[in-house]
Amino acid sequence: MFKSIQFFSGTIAWVLVELRFAAPPARRHSDFHRKGLLRQALNDTGRMTMTSHRLQISTRGKGLYEITHQIAAWLAGVKVRSGLLTVFVQHTSASLTIQENADPDVVHDLNTFFNRLVPEDNRLYRHTCEGPDDMPAHIRAALTLTQISIPVEDSAMALGTWQGVYLFEHRAIPHRRNVLLHLIGEP
């Protein structure tokens, strides 16, 4: 039996994918993705492509680290003209944000604000075994984003004039952070 799956990106590309109805519904879904049928079907249409990449960002401690140029460099090597880029940080004490990158006072003010908003004071928290900056880092990450989506137009991020993508490190000591980039779009 066949089921039609539609993907919208300018024009509709459709793919017929065989689903085995003998398996229970949960198994069908996991089989479908595990076997990579969706990725293969998208590539066979010649209309959509998916790709991913992992960045490792070394931080020097708490603060905002602009990663726009690393993302743009990877994106320049990928042949996708139009699509959607997902940026995801794989940590619970760091986050992502899109902020102004023209005036360094913005970064300073954001750091100052978050330090006032979520103080490092062990008397305020029960989870203190990993240091006085750990629980505040988790709270700061919960108040911000671990994932952002950015449109891609003409093979570049469709950011505003003064916008940059930042890794927001919430821990006081240096860390190596993994940032996953996932792109789906049309060549």
Structural contact between residues 67 and 57, judged by C-beta atoms closer than 8 angstroms: yes
What pTM does this model have?
0.75
* Residue whose token pair is 């992502």: 96
Question: 45: pLDDT confidence band, cut at 50, 70 and 90?
Answer: low
Radius of gyration of the chain (CA): 20
- Mean pLDDT value across the chain: 83
Domains in the chain: ranges and CATH: 1-47 (no CATH), 48-186 (2.60.120.460)
Per-residue pLDDT band at 127 (split at 50, 70, 90): very high
Using the predicted structure, report yes or no on whether residue 99 has a pLDDT greater than 90.
yes
Rounded-to-integer distance, Cα 147 and Cα 14, Å:
28
pLDDT of residue 47: 81
Question: What single DSSP character describes residue 134?
Answer: H
